Structure 1
Amino acid sequence: MYSSRKKSQEDVPMEMTSVWICSNEECNGWMRDNFSFSNEPTCPQCKSAMVKGEKKIAVLANTSPVQSK
C-alpha cells in the first residue's frame, strides 16, 4: 500500500484578470491592476512604462483598506 506525505494539491480557481504589463520586452514584470498604487504605474523592476493587459491567473482578493482607485 502506498501512502504519501505530500498533501494533495487542491484546484486553484483561475480567471482572466486585469494586469499591468511592463512595456520593456527584456523585462517580465507585471502586477495585478487592483494591487497597483497608481493609475499609470511604472515597472518596479526596470522603471519602464506599463501597459494594461490580461492574464489568466489565480483568483486573489485585495483586502487592503487603502486603495487609491
Structure 2
Amino acid sequence: MAFFNNEKEPVKNVETNVWSCVSDDCQGWMRENYSFDEEPSCPICQSEMKKEIRVIPELK
C-alpha cells in the first residue's frame, strides 16, 4: 500500500510477553524472547523481574 504526503504506514500494536522490573525506582523491561535466562535480572538496576503482558508495536 502506498502512502503519500509524508504519511507513514500505521504501526500495528500487539500483546507481547515481557519481563518487567519489580523495583519501584526502575522502569526497565524487555521482551521475553530477548533473554536466554530462565528468570533474568534487570539490565538497568540488577533487580528481579516478573512476567507481564504489554501492548507494544509489533516487530517485523
TM range (shorter): 0.7 to 0.9
More strand by percentage: 2
| TM-score with structure 1 setting the length | 0.74
Matching residue of 1:60: 59
Matching residue of 1:39: 38
Please report how far the alpha carbon of residue 9 of structure 1 lies from its aligned counterpart in structure 2 after TM superposition.
2.0
**Alignment size in residue pairs:** 56
User: Please, which runs of 5 or more residues in structure 2 have no aligned partner?
Assistant: none
Matching residue of 1:13: 12
Q: Point out 4+ residue stretches in structure 1 off by more than 2 angstroms.
A: none
| TM-score with structure 2 setting the length | 0.84
